[in-house]
Amino acid sequence: MHQFAFADIVVLVIYLIGVVGLGAWFFQKSRNPEGYMAASRSMPGWVVGLSIFGTYVSSISFLALPGKAFSNDWNALAFSFSLPIAAWVATIWFVPYYRKGDAVSAYQHLEQRFGVWARTYAATCYLLTQVARMGSVMYLLALPLHQLLGWNVPALILVTGGLTTLYTLLGGIEGVIWTDALQSIVLATGAVACAIILPLSMPNGASQMLEIASHHDKFSLGSMGISLSQPTFWIVLIYGMFINLQNFGIDQSYVQRYIAAKSDSDARKSVWIGALVYVPISIIFLWIGTALFTYYYTQPELLPDSLQAQIADGKGDGVFPYFIVDGLPTGVSGLLVAAIFAAAMSTLSTSLNGAATLTLTDYYRRFIRPEASQRESMIVLYVSTMSWGIIGTTTAIAMMEVQSILDAWWQLAGIFSGGMLGLFLLGMLSRKAGNGAAVFGVMLGVAVILWMTLSRTEIWPEGWATVASPFNNYLVIVFGTLTILLTGWLLAHFFARPLSEVQPNETETTSNEPS
């Protein structure tokens, strides 16, 4: 395996310095809460759109999509097909819903609809999920980079977490959005470069790649059959619909960007840009995975024994990182590693700013100091950004020793966050649903999610095997969301009064947010 060349290190270092410098550039604009959390609602739609795209593509996706295509086929593309549909729903319902008021928190609306418990529940789920997400992204980024660069895993985690926390702290949401946009360009450029180089590197030319891939059915979108236990094309498509509705509809990371846009039109444009850019980029990632399969199919001697053993076990995630250093020209390797960093840092900065925003709006101002001054609010934002950065980085380092515990934590975060979409949809679609219907719906929905998730793990007792979930794991969020929505709707339909017949103080909680 070739060593990471000095020129590649120069490319990577220049990129990292540029990202931190760009974030610091916006320090003056982010020295008040409105600027730090909402960029003074002044961002152009195209920049916000690229930021949404950058948020969507984590380093996990950058490595996992080629790995899936290498080991299997293009079944994952069904997920991408759901994005335009979810984007259309977001532009029609969610974007206007969040931009009609002054709230920065996505979850303040839940308090107005169902009470403070709903807001706190959703905000806590978001924070728990983001901590697990930050830890996972940094840890899974460090693993391939350790193989690529030979650097120490804890050092890689500390560098990634420290630099991302620094520029997020300095630049606020405006710095995050602009750096995300830059990182999206780096990410896309690196992927396109690799997608072109790989077929041209085939022993007998690019046509050989297409012949081998077609012979092995690598371009298949998966089974078109009707099965609820297998990841068919339709199951992945439906799963994508619900996941993308959750992302575009209730995730603070996305909602904060809608609010940062300078107009409703720019906010809607940003959703379309984020969604429509991801679709071709995901195709490029899958193309890379297929090209890698054909490249090493014709030249298996280029792979080390350790990777061949992983491939034999059906694990192809390590092939792309290996090719980046071993198969790409000097300089291009540095660009691709920078792209991996870009995908990770974009995800991390978004999580950090969103977590800091909720700490101030949904906890500090809501329960401790409703009339906090601007200076006090900025202190909370700075301290919470650093704190969440430390917590996320510590989580990533802890994964090195206690992966089983943290994997369980990740599963639980998914379980509880899985109830958020159903709660939002219930509030938006049912005028009759009140607090009781929402509470019971969430409880039953979380129970369904818990059953479907845990019954497929070692935690589930052997004696209960007959009542384990027979459904594919992709359906967890689907069934959980529908359970909350339908349960709440039915209870409201039979037992509640219409919202128009209820006194305002019965259904709305006065916000403690300072205007």
118 residue type, one letter: A
Residue 326 tokens, joined: 């071993």
Please give the pLDDT value at position 4.
67
Query: 310, 144 in Cβ contact below 8 A?
Result: no
DSSP state string for 137-162 = HHHHHHHHHHHHH---HHHHHHHHHH
Q: Class of the 6-401 domain?
A: mainly alpha
Read off the tokens for 434. 């009140």
Rg (CA), the chain: 23
Averages of pLDDT over each 10 residues, the chain, 515 residues:
71 85 85 92 94 80 84 92 94 92 88 92 90 85 76 89 91 91 87 92 91 94 90 92 90 93 95 94 94 93 84 80 83 82 84 95 95 94 96 88 56 68 88 88 91 85 90 89 93 66 42 38
User: Nearest CA to 417 among 381, 450, 466?
Assistant: 450
Which residues are CB-neighbours of 205 under 8 A, at least 6 positions away? none
Cα angle 103, 111, 360 (rounded to 5 degrees) comes to: 50
Do 76 and 232 contact (CB within 8 A), yes or no?
no
Closest Cα partner for 382 from 65, 136, 33, 138?
33
pLDDT score, position 407: 55
Q: Give the Cα separation of 255 and 361 in Å (integer).
A: 14
Residue 512's pLDDT is: 41
Both structure tokens of 338 = 């920078």
Give the Cα separation of 138 and 347 in Å (integer). 10
Q: Are 4 and 331 a contacting pair, CB within 8 Å? A: no
Q: What angle do CA 379, 382, 383 make, to 5 degrees?
A: 80
Q: Are 440 and 471 in contact (CB under 8 A)?
A: no
pTM listed for this prediction = 0.86
N residues, the chain: 515
Domain boundaries, the chain: 6-401, 418-515
CA distance 395 to 393: 5
Cα distances (Å, whole numbers) of residue 142 to 63, 189, 340, 434, 452: 12, 22, 10, 46, 31
At residue 317, the 3 state secondary structure works out as: coil
